[in-house]
Structure 1
Amino acid sequence: MLEIGTKAPAFTLPDQNGNMRSLADYQGQKVILYFYPKDMTAGCTKQACAFGDLYPQFREKGAAVLGVSKDSVASHKKFEEKYGLPFTLLSDPEKEVIQAYDVWKEKKNYGKVSMGVVRTTYLIDENGIIIKAFDKVKAADNPAQMLGELE
């Protein structure tokens, strides 16, 4: 996990519509950057839908919400449409940003060890500095937790 107080690594990735988005696009506003394992899975859907439900409050507080996984642009588009997600999903199939943010790790699932995205959420301030970092977050609770961090 990246350290609080450090500059967030810059990135440019395609969103669910195929448009290129960079961290610099959000200069001047807080960014909730959350990394999740896979579109359409139970935990990831709970997390995304909860971020969607709270999205108006995030916007009121001047924060952007960006979800990142290694799923394709097409997968993100299906995920967005199926659940009516109002925020940006970024596709990182090469895992460049996932690795830059130190969320590609060894995971144990039912005794089996594999590499994967560890559910992690960063809060980045208006100047691109990481001000909060949470790893191994609980999918359903994370969006409300992050809204609280904006108080």
Structure 2
Amino acid sequence: MKGGSGRDGDAGAGTPEGRSENGPAVEAEAGPVTEFDRERRDLGVSQLDFELPNAGAGPDPLVLSDLAADPGTVVRRPQSSRTPPDDNVAVVLLFQRDYRCRNCRQQVQAFADRYDEFRDRDVAVVSVLPESKEKAEKWQQKYHLPFPLAADEDKRAAEAYGQPTRFGKLGALHDLLGRLPEVAILDARGGELRLYAVHRGEKPSDRPSVDDVLAMTDRMLR
């Protein structure tokens, strides 16, 4: 899969677990997880925090760093009886391609169906749609997502996270044609965001499963 740019940015990723300062990362075994990139320190991400309009659960606008500082910004499923956590230990970002993307719609529904598994781990999920808030609201009216649905109309957050595009200038102008999916996992323990892992798709369907994202967060939290 594609890696990050390798430049020393201000993402604050630090030295990943199992990596020496003078050598490549040495990963522990973690089941089927193979498609996340942790070989580069910043993974091509220039800025972790963002503030975007939110059409889903939680506050509007959504400030990403607030998810680390205040678990009350994420709605739990009503049937959950667990005591609310002191904080969210991780944030999973799902960068989408386009309002009309079928794979994107299927992805958010799959994560919504299993959102309790993330909340049982005190992990927050945020879907980032490169569209207006009005279009994001149409998604929310249809899918009733239990997590934030951020509207990144000007693609600033997508660019900061290095979301890939293809087909050059043409692809950059037309998201459904050129934009590719991305998943980022952030360590939020202690109330601060730190980048842990990124998966950048090489085609529209190239995105990790819910099981793989859960396995990767479990690896981080060990």
Output the CA distance in 1 between the equivalents of 2:209 and 2:167. Answer: 20
Shift of 1:69: 1.8
Which string of whole-angstrom CA distances, capped at 9 and with x for unpartnered residues, describes residues 28-64 of structure 1? 4210011011234310111010010111110111111
Q: Which of 62, 65, 73 is the equivalent residue of 1:24?
A: 65
Identity fraction in percent = 24
Output the CA distance in 1 between the equivalents of 2:139 and 2:95. Answer: 15
Residues 76/31 of structure 1: CA separation in 2 closer, same or farther (3 Å cut): same
Output the CA distance in 1 between the equivalents of 2:118 and 2:124. Answer: 7
Flag the structure with higher strand content.
Answer: 1
Output the CA distance in 2 between the equivalents of 1:41 and 1:118. Answer: 10
What does 1:44-123 correspond to in 2, within 5 Å? Answer: 44-107=104-167, 114-115=171-172, 116-123=178-185
Which string of whole-angstrom CA distances, capped at 9 and with x for unpartnered residues, describes residues 87-137 of structure 1? 1110111111111111142248xxxx6224320100000131111111117
Shift of 1:13: 0.5
Shift of 1:148: 1.7
Aligned residues of 1:119 and 1:135 also touching (Cα < 8 A)? yes
Q: Which runs of 5+ in 2 are unaligned?
A: 7-12, 15-41, 69-86, 173-177
Residues 61/139 of structure 1: CA separation in 2 closer, same or farther (3 Å cut): farther
Runs of 4+ in 1 over 6 A off after TM superposition: none
Calculate the aligned-residue CA RMSD, in Å: 2.5
Residues 2/59 of structure 1: CA separation in 2 closer, same or farther (3 Å cut): farther
User: What TM-score do you get using the length of structure 1 for normalisation?
Assistant: 0.84
What SS class does the counterpart of residue 114 from structure 1 fall into? helix
Q: Which residue is equivalent to 1:10? A: 49
Q: Number of aligned residue pairs: give it.
A: 148
**More deviation in 137-146 or 97-106?**
137-146
Output the CA distance in 2 between the equivalents of 1:131 and 1:101. Answer: 13
Amino acid at match of 1:21: L
Which has the higher Rg, Structure 1 or Structure 2?
2
2:106 counterpart of 1:38: no
Residues 48/106 of structure 1: CA separation in 2 closer, same or farther (3 Å cut): same
User: What TM-score do you get using the length of structure 2 for normalisation?
Assistant: 0.59
Q: Which residue is equivalent to 2:27? A: none
Aligned residues of 2:164 and 2:181 also touching (Cα < 8 A)? no
**More deviation in 99-108 or 73-82?**
99-108
Amino acid at match of 2:214: L
Q: Which runs of 5+ in 1 are unaligned?
A: none
If asked which structure has higher relative contact order (CA below 8 Å, sep 6+), I would say 1
